[in-house]
Amino acid sequence: LRQREASGRRMGVIAGAASRLDGLGGRILIIDDNERQAQRIAAELSIEHRPVVESDPDKARISAGGPVDLVIINGAAKRFDGLRFAASLRSTERTRHLPVLAMVDPDDRQRMVKALEIGVNDILPRPIDPQELAARVKTQIQRKRYTDYLRNNLDHSLELAVTDQLTGLHNRRYMTGQLDSLVQRSTLGGDPVAALLIDIDHFKKINDTFGHDVGDEVLREFALRLASNVRAIDLPCRYGGEEFTVIMPDTQLEDAMRIAERIRMHVAGSPFRVAQGRELLTVTISIGVSATLGEHDSPEALLKRADEGVYEAKASGRNAVVA
Ligand code: GH3
Ligand code: MG
Ligand code: MG
Ligand code: MG
């Protein structure tokens, strides 16, 4: 059964990819100052695609920044330099990944070579043969769909790798990487890095009394309050379970203490509304604070001192900040 499930999931992935690849009609931007030629190409393409014609390069640039799947450009336009325009699409972030087909006269070897040097995706030899046009356009759009799909998936998995799914804060792995480089910079003579380690008080009791789902709600609400009470340069993270960290670049211990105290009050000061508003819970936290001490300090030692602060805060009766 497990094997069937696994292969079912694989099928799902493939079907998902395929469904993104079918419906190959694309938005095609034709950039050509030869209006008759442009309209002829547009008419050919309009059976399967949505072509738009621009004869003015400034307007074409604006259109290219919008939702476009493919650019067809006259490489031998009269009123502007088509190949230069194609090169500028390549050097602009927004249009870098757009496939470009350049219409070139096959006898014009020089222009042909230049087009390929610029990195156009394919050449459309003139005069344009409708079947060849359809085939080359289809190939480019198919590739575009697939690379878009891969790029979206990559972005998604990169985000998953650095984000805690329950709270949306940074996760421990991301925090550790950032902390390593910040501490290294500070030991080389940079400003101190401060760390807060925050542990929710008697969290087990919240789970035991109201259930794990309410516990999760408390974690999410806490994360919101945490994120809105630190500065833009600080990194709030879920360290694990009901423990959180805030990494504070360029921060002295005293400033970190003040921010920790502000967070503590914003948590203890107003109750958490959970379970669709049916419960109001007073939540408190214990915070340990530390800051780097010079050239021999390390991320591990920094976090250990913050952890000792948490331990003392708990021992002193909780709902406290200790450096
Ligand atoms: P203390 O004041 O000493 O910190 O007491 P505590 O109950 O908060 O400490 P303890 O470490 O004993 O309990 C932490 C609990 O957090 C235990 C664990 O089941 C719960 N927990 C960890 N991760 C999650 C989570 O993602 N969701 C929920 N709902 N509970 C979690
Ligand atoms: Mg704990
Ligand atoms: Mg504990
Ligand atoms: Mg706790």
Q: Which two tokens stand for residue 316?
A: 């002193």
pLDDT at residue number 23: 59
Residue of 207, 209, 216 to mutate, ligand 1, most atoms within 8 A of C-beta: 207
pLDDT at residue number 138: 93
CB 219 within 8 Å of CB 241: no
pLDDT at 165 over 80: yes
pLDDT digits (tens, 9 = 90+) for 187-217: 888 889 999 999 999 999 999 999 999 999 9
pLDDT at 157 over 90: no
pLDDT digits (tens, 9 = 90+) for 27-69: 999 999 999 999 999 999 998 999 999 999 999 999 999 889 9
pLDDT at residue number 266: 97
Residue nearest to atom 31 of ligand 1 (CA): 241
Q: Which two tokens stand for residue 171?
A: 């996760």
Catalytic residue of the set 44, 54, 217, 242: 242
pLDDT digits (tens, 9 = 90+) for 104-138: 999 999 999 999 999 999 999 999 999 999 999 99
pLDDT at 152 over 70: yes
Distance 160 CA to ligand 1 centre (A): 23
Distance 184 CA to ligand 2 centre (A): 28
Question: Which ligand is closest in space to the CA of residue 220?
Answer: 1
What integer is the mean pLDDT of 156-180? 93
Which is more confidently placed, 171 or 294? 171
pLDDT digits (tens, 9 = 90+) for 87-101: 999 999 889 999 999
- As a whole number of angstroms, the distance between CA 171 and CA 261 comes to 23
Residues lining ligand 1, judged by CB closer than 6 Å? 166, 199-204, 207, 212, 215-216, 219, 241-242, 314, 318
Q: What percent of the chain has pLDDT over 90?
A: 78
Confidence of residue 317 (pLDDT cuts 50, 70, 90): very high
Distance 238 CA to ligand 2 centre (A): 12
- As a whole number of angstroms, the distance between CA 91 and CA 100 comes to 13
pLDDT at 15 over 60: no
Concerning whether 117 is annotated as a catalytic residue, the answer is no
Q: Is the dihedral of CA 41, 46, 48, 52 positive or negative?
A: positive
- As a whole number of angstroms, the distance between CA 249 and CA 186 comes to 9
Distance 203 CA to ligand 3 centre (A): 8
Q: Which two tokens stand for residue 11?
A: 């099928």
- 212 CB-contact burial (10 Å; exposed 0-12 / middle 13-18 / buried 19+): exposed
What integer is the mean pLDDT of 160-189? 93
Contacts of 93 (CB under 8 A, 6+ apart): none
What integer is the mean pLDDT of 168-189? 93
pLDDT digits (tens, 9 = 90+) for 227-270: 999 998 999 999 999 999 999 999 999 999 999 999 999 999 99
What integer is the mean pLDDT of 291-303? 95
pLDDT at residue number 22: 44
